[in-house]
């Protein structure tokens, strides 16, 4: 908690460290009421700076210093200075050893940063700046050290003692206690340090690397979860193989461990050799986790594993470079998921997520470039911009350089910087040098915030047989950046003739006949590309695969969109055409609602959806995606001013119209798929995901009909399904339905059946928190009293409070402001317990400028109330003050 005005930290002030730490020897004595941490550091002056001997300033927070010795000599109180955030002393030689003993209190650490307890086990979370809550240290990523860690604890309570690297020794101490020593031979920054002590069970396997080295794999969990590890273990092995095959990256230690913990601020953490995971990101089995959860586990296991190279072996020089490891690693995990499942569906999901949430961030008060210039609290910058937009930027490099050139770039990057802490510039430089290109202008993606707009117009000249596309790019102002320079925007595109055939693409002036799909580089504010040899006006398919994170406008007519839905050879753009058609149809309804007219839906949308449903040869996952209307959050994001009620009414009206008009084909697809699900054991694999996805979206539409036979089918699915994917969908649609009795019975049955499974109870909370029926806030308030709820567990906060504020627009944005007041109350409470979670929950309030005047006043009022509520953490302070600026 801060006591002084938080400081702004600027990238431009970066300086190399004054001292380096070659070796770090740690001994932890874990007790129930305190932990003692003994550290012995081998330090030396960083000669890159100069020869002088400035004071040594170590980070440290919430530490009680018990002993301090320099080169073996205990220091008296006059020989060092201590304040809330640091310990300073004057070394007398350029290389020396420093020993400290501190006392810390993991047992009362509710911020879940540093060393803390999750249930009965000890665990750590050090990224970004949590290590300074464990011991005095140079807690910055450009200080890399070899760690040797000894953990001592009660034998019975904590039979398993883990840290990074390889186990090197263990033994007992008296009757009750034991110890284990771990050594990590790879130099690493302190943010990758980890320790775990607990009564854990493990599943084990092994992996033989490309160079025939045997690696032991272990997933540690609390005993009751031992039957939920197989999917993560299989995902880990697939990730290890994939990284060898696609990036040539081999694992380096003899052992790789994952530990599942219940109380965790985010998804997972890539600590060297000892990944610590939110249990929700590792545990999965058919009966308790949905298909989406299975895919999430696979992706997060891969993401953390991939960090071993993109993050650990090559790390960040400073936290402004966070996207260097996060954007790149998201890009790598997306490639992995695309290869393991349907690549097009993965792309659709990622783009829908980016456009709904990252674009909103980019248009709000916290907008920042993927390499920010400044921050107050780095924890606030683990954002969709750093992660998802960061991944898009890496993806654009791959699009521009081609798969081979990109791989040459990553090879050079890893080879050149192995063991170093580097910058985004170093990454781009490796790409430039491996490909002999100049990426100076491209680098604007790293320094300019905001989502570029790209308005495209066309011109067909029948006489000259040319077809021109003119691109106008612009980027709205963002905090601190009024004016933007043009970006390099790769546009993957194709041109279709009247039969839907792809035309060869030859730009005017080019000699050779072009291929039918190519990438144009838009680099200027206004730029025209003219294609030659066009006998008829073609239909453009633009931004294929979403080749750049921009808002593209083109005056498509609805018939053209229907045509693209059917004929575009790019699967992503078939979906995109459907979304554009749906957005237009929904905008009609919103306009009718505003004019108090009877709502009438464009039949063309229904016709297009019917032809998808009636075509058995299409990929079912794609059909399911295309049947999903744009979310309320996305419709809000693309509106100048979001009218929550109008959006909700319009979308619900469209859903009912689809349900009514397409009842027959939906019912047919539902029954056929449910029949297969009934007779096939659960398999976590793409084609099964696809079948269940279509079955479940069909059920959601069908239930809107309120017909008795559909209710019966829904109850059958709820009661008989052998997996959570089918069961949870049945529960969701019941909860959203008017069948009060069935709903209550199902909710009660579910809560009783899964009372002992916290992750399933999170889903139960989430389903109710997201229900748009009236009375949502009161339901959530009531659920906060449920014995399974606790505000101290981040998963519970996200499942109930987060789902309500982010996914239940009509209830959260109630006209009387009660939803806002509720959220602000929770943020104020969380601020004292867990600042990182508090600040995350704030984000719906930061979007206040998106809403009508009355709501703006209410939302702003709550932000002001938070600001005035007392001592704010730097996390909450930064978000609130920037939102009000
Ligand atoms: N690197 C961690 C995130 C740490 C967040 C700290 N507040 C997980 C990941 O991105 O892999
Ligand atoms: Zn990551």
- State CA 872 to chain mean position distance: 26
* Rounded Cα gap, residues 578 and 627, in angstroms: 9
Please choose from 111, 116, 126, 127 the residue to mutate so as to test ligand 1's pocket, defined by most ligand atoms within 8 A of CB.
127
Closest CA to 484 of 399, 374, 369: 369
State whether the beta carbon of 456 lies less than 6 angstroms from ligand 1. Answer: no
Query: Per residue in 185-210, pLDDT tens?
Result: 999 999 999 999 999 999 999 999 99
* Rounded Cα gap, residues 261 and 120, in angstroms: 10
Query: Per residue in 739-773, pLDDT tens?
Result: 999 999 999 999 999 999 999 999 999 999 999 99
State whether the beta carbon of 300 lies less than 6 angstroms from ligand 1. Answer: no
Q: What is the mean pLDDT of residues 503-528?
A: 92
* Rounded Cα gap, residues 571 and 323, in angstroms: 29
Q: What is the mean pLDDT of residues 115-130?
A: 98
Report the half-sphere exposure of 256 (CA within 13 A, side-chain side).
27
Ranges of H-type helices in 614-685? 620-627, 632-637, 644-661, 663-679
Q: What is the mean pLDDT of residues 650-674?
A: 98
* Rounded Cα gap, residues 284 and 229, in angstroms: 7
State whether the beta carbon of 270 lies less than 6 angstroms from ligand 1. Answer: yes
3-class DSSP string for 268-287: EECCCCEEEEEHHHCCCCCC
**Alpha-carbon torsion 739, 745, 750, 755, what sign?**
positive
Query: Per residue in 332-365, pLDDT tens?
Result: 999 999 999 999 999 999 999 999 999 999 999 9
Measured in angstroms, how far is the CA atom of residue 260 from the centroid of ligand 1? 15
Q: What pLDDT is recorded for position 516?
A: 81
Please choose from 194, 270, 306 the residue to mutate so as to test ligand 1's pocket, defined by most ligand atoms within 8 A of CB.
270
662, 615 in Cβ contact below 8 A?
no
Measured in angstroms, how far is the CA atom of residue 127 from the centroid of ligand 1? 6
Instruction: Give the residue whose CA is nearest to atom 10 of ligand 1.
Output: 326
Closest CA to 375 of 17, 8, 685, 627: 8
Measured in angstroms, how far is the CA atom of residue 440 from the centroid of ligand 2? 26
Question: Nearest 5°: CA angle at 543, between 537 and 545?
Answer: 125
Within 719-780, strands assigned E span none
State whether the beta carbon of 382 lies less than 6 angstroms from ligand 1. Answer: yes
Phi, psi of 570 (to 5 degrees): -95, 115
DSSP letter (8 states) at residue 502: B
State whether the beta carbon of 379 lies less than 6 angstroms from ligand 1. Answer: yes
- Would you please indicate which residues are annotated as catalytic (active-site) residues? 304
* Rounded Cα gap, residues 423 and 319, in angstroms: 10
Query: Per residue in 270-314, pLDDT tens?
Result: 999 999 999 999 999 999 999 999 999 999 999 999 999 999 999
State whether the beta carbon of 128 lies less than 6 angstroms from ligand 1. Answer: yes
Examine the pLDDT at 404 and tell me if it is beyond 90.
Answer: yes
Instruction: Give the residue whose CA is nearest to atom 1 of ligand 1.
Output: 269
**Whole-number mean pLDDT of the chain?**
98
Q: What pLDDT is recorded for position 5?
A: 76
Q: Which residues contact 349 (CB under 8 A, 6 or more apart)?
A: 625
Q: What pLDDT is recorded for position 4?
A: 62
Between the CA of residue 173 and those of 104, 170, 176, 247, 488, what are the distances in Å? 22, 10, 7, 46, 63
589, 653 in Cβ contact below 8 A?
yes
Measured in angstroms, how far is the CA atom of residue 269 from the centroid of ligand 1? 5
Exposed, middle or buried, 523 (CB in 10 Å: 0-12/13-18/19+)?
A: middle
Examine the pLDDT at 240 and tell me if it is beyond 70.
Answer: yes
* Rounded Cα gap, residues 573 and 547, in angstroms: 11
Exposed, middle or buried, 201 (CB in 10 Å: 0-12/13-18/19+)?
A: middle
What are the structure tokens assigned to 45, written together? 């002056």
* Rounded Cα gap, residues 591 and 610, in angstroms: 25
Secondary-structure percent of the chain, ordered helix, strand, coil, rounded to 5: 45, 20, 35
What are the structure tokens assigned to 467, written together? 């077809």
Between the CA of residue 202 and those of 281, 305, 563, 759, what are the distances in Å? 16, 18, 54, 19
Angle of helix 230-247 relative to helix 322-340, nearest 10 degrees, comes to 110
Per DSSP, the residues of 289-328 read: S-HHHHHHHHHHHHHHHHTTTBTTTBEESSGGGHHHHHHH
Atom of ligand 1 nearest to the CA of 379: 7
Q: Which residues contact 663 (CB under 8 A, 6 or more apart)?
A: 702, 705
Q: What pLDDT is recorded for position 82?
A: 98
Measured in angstroms, how far is the CA atom of residue 307 from the centroid of ligand 2? 7
* Rounded Cα gap, residues 89 and 68, in angstroms: 10
Report the half-sphere exposure of 22 (CA within 13 A, side-chain side).
9
List domains and CATH numbers for the chain: 1-198 (2.60.40.1730), 309-553 (1.10.390.10)
Instruction: Give the residue whose CA is nearest to atom 2 of ligand 1.
Output: 269
Q: What pLDDT is recorded for position 170?
A: 98
* Rounded Cα gap, residues 822 and 612, in angstroms: 43
Q: What pLDDT is recorded for position 382?
A: 98
State whether the beta carbon of 304 lies less than 6 angstroms from ligand 1. Answer: yes
Q: What is the mean pLDDT of residues 93-105?
A: 98
State whether the beta carbon of 381 lies less than 6 angstroms from ligand 1. Answer: no
Q: What is the mean pLDDT of residues 646-673?
A: 98
Question: Nearest 5°: CA angle at 572, between 566 and 574?
Answer: 15
* Rounded Cα gap, residues 774 and 109, in angstroms: 38
260, 279 in Cβ contact below 8 A?
yes
- State CA 42 to chain mean position distance: 37
Ranges of H-type helices in 357-455? 359-362, 384, 390-417, 424-435, 444-447
pLDDT band at 75 (very low <50, low <70, confident <90, very high): very high
Examine the pLDDT at 3 and tell me if it is beyond 60.
Answer: no
575, 348 in Cβ contact below 8 A?
yes
Query: Per residue in 648-661, pLDDT tens?
Result: 999 999 999 999 99
Percentage of the chain modeled with pLDDT above 90? 99
* Rounded Cα gap, residues 326 and 334, in angstroms: 12
3-class DSSP string for 507-559: ECCCCCCCCCCEEEEECCCEEEEEECCCCCCCEEECCCCCCCCCEEECCCCHH
467, 498 in Cβ contact below 8 A?
no
258, 219 in Cβ contact below 8 A?
yes
* Rounded Cα gap, residues 137 and 98, in angstroms: 10
Q: Which ligand is nearest to the CA of 192?
A: 1
Q: What is the mean pLDDT of residues 497-521?
A: 91
* Rounded Cα gap, residues 410 and 171, in angstroms: 43
Q: Which ligand is nearest to the CA of 129?
A: 1
Q: What is the mean pLDDT of residues 58-81?
A: 98
pLDDT band at 513 (very low <50, low <70, confident <90, very high): confident
- State CA 746 to chain mean position distance: 32
Examine the pLDDT at 1 and tell me if it is beyond 70.
Answer: no
Measured in angstroms, how far is the CA atom of residue 523 from the centroid of ligand 2? 30
98, 43 in Cβ contact below 8 A?
yes
What are the structure tokens assigned to 276, written together? 């610590």
Q: What is the mean pLDDT of residues 706-729?
A: 98
* Rounded Cα gap, residues 758 and 880, in angstroms: 32
* Rounded Cα gap, residues 217 and 403, in angstroms: 31
């Amino acid at each position: 908690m801060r006591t002084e005005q938080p400081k702004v930290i600027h990238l431009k002030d970066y300086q190399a460290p004054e001292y380096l730490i070659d070796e770090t020897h740690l001994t932890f004595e874990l007790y129930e009421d305190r932990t003692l941490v003994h550290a012995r550091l081998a330090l030396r002056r960083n000669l890159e700076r100069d020869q002088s001997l400035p004071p040594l300033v170590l980070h440290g927070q919430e530490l009680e210093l018990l002993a301090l010795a320099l080169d073996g000599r205990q220091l008296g109180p006059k020989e060092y200075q201590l304040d809330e955030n640091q310990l300073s002393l004057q070394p007398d030689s350029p290389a020396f050893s420093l020993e400290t003993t501190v006392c810390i209190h993991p047992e009362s650490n509710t911020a879940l940063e540093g060393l803390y307890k999750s249930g009965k086990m000890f665990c750590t979370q050090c990224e970004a700046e949590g290590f300074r809550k464990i011991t005095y240290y140079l807690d910055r990523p450009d200080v890399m050290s070899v760690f040797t860690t000894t953990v001592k604890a009660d034998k019975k309570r904590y039979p398993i003692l883990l840290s990074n690297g390889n186990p090197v020794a263990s033994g007992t101490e008296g009757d009750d206690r034991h110890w284990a020593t771990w050594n990590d031979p790879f130099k690493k920054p302190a943010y990758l340090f980890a320790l775990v002590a607990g009564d854990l069970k493990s599943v084990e396997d092994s992996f033989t690397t490309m160079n025939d080295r045997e690696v032991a794999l272990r997933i540690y969990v609390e005993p009751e979860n031992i039957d939920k590890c197989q999917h993560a273990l299989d995902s880990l092995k697939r990730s290890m193989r994939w990284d060898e095959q696609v990036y040539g990256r081999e694992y380096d230690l003899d052992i790789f461990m994952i530990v599942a913990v219940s109380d965790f601020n985010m998804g997972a953490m890539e600590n060297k050799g000892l990944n610590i995971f939110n249990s929700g990101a590792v545990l999965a089995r058919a009966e308790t986790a949905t298909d989406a959860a299975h895919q999430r586990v696979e992706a997060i296991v891969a993401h953390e594993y991939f960090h071993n190279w993109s993050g650990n072996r090559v790390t960040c020089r400073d936290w402004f470079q966070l996207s260097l490891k996060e954007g790149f690693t998201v890009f790598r995990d997306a490639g992995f998921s695309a290869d393991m499942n349907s690549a097009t569906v993965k792309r659709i999901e990622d783009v829908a997520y980016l456009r709904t949430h990252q674009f909103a961030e980019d248009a709000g008060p916290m907008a920042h470039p993927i390499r920010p210039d400044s921050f107050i609290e780095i924890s606030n910058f683990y954002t969709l911009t750093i992660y998802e937009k960061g991944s898009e930027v890496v993806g654009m490099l791959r699009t521009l350089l081609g798969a081979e050139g990109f791989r040459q770039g990553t090879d050079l990057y890893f080879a050149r910087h192995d063991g170093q802490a580097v910058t985004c510039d170093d990454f781009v430089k490796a790409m430039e040098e491996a490909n002999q290109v100049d990426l100076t202008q491209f680098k604007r993606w790293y320094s300019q915030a905001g989502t570029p707009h790209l308005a495209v117009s066309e011109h067909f000249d029948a006489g000259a047989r040319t077809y021109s596309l003119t691109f106008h790019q612009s980027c709205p102002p963002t905090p601190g950046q009024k004016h933007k320079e043009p970006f390099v925007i790769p546009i993957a595109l194709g041109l279709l003739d009247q039969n839907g055939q792809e035309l060869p693409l030859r730009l005017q002036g080019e000699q050779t006949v072009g291929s039918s799909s190519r990438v144009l580089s838009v680099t200027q504010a206004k730029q025209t590309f003219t294609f030659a040899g066009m006998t008829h006006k073609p239909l453009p398919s633009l931004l294929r695969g979403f080749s750049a994170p921009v808002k593209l406008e083109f005056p498509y007519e609805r018939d053209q969109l229907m045509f693209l839905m059917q004929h575009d050879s790019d699967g992503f753009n078939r979906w995109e055409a459907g979304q554009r058609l749906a957005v237009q149809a929904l905008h009609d309804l919103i306009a009718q609602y505003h004019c108090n007219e009877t709502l009438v839906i464009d039949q063309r949308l229904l016709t297009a959806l019917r032809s998808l449903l009636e075509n058995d040869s299409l990929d079912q996952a794609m059909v399911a995606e295309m049947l999903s209307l744009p979310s309320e959050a996305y419709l809000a994001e693309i509106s100048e001013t979001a009218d929550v009620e109008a959006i909700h009414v319009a979308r619900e009206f469209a859903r009912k119209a689809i349900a009514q008009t397409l009842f027959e084909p939906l019912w047919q697809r539902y029954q056929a798929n449910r029949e297969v699900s009934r007779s096939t054991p659960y398999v976590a694999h793409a084609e099964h995901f696809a079948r269940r996805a279509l079955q479940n979206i069909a059920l959601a539409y069908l239930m809107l009909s309120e017909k008795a036979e559909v209710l019966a089918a829904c109850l059958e699915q709820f009661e008989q399904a052998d997996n959570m994917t089918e069961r949870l969908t049945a529960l969701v649609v019941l909860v959203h339905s008017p069948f009060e009795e069935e709903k209550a019975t199902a909710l009660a049955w579910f809560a009783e059946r899964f009372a002992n499974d916290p992750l399933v109870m999170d889903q139960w909370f989430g389903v109710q928190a997201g229900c748009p029926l009236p009375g949502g806030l009161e339901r959530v308030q009531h659920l906060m009293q449920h014995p399974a709820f606790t505000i101290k567990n981040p998963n519970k906060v996200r499942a109930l409070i987060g789902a309500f504020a982010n996914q239940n627009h009509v209830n959260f944005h109630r006209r009387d402001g009660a939803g806002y007041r509720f959220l602000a109350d929770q943020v104020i409470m969380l601020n004292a317990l867990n600042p990182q979670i508090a600040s995350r929950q704030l984000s719906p309030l930061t979007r206040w400028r998106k809403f009508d005047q009355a709501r703006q006043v209410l939302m702003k009022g709550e932000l002001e109330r938070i600001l005035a509520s007392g001592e704010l953490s730097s996390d909450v302070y930064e978000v609130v003050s920037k939102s009000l600026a």
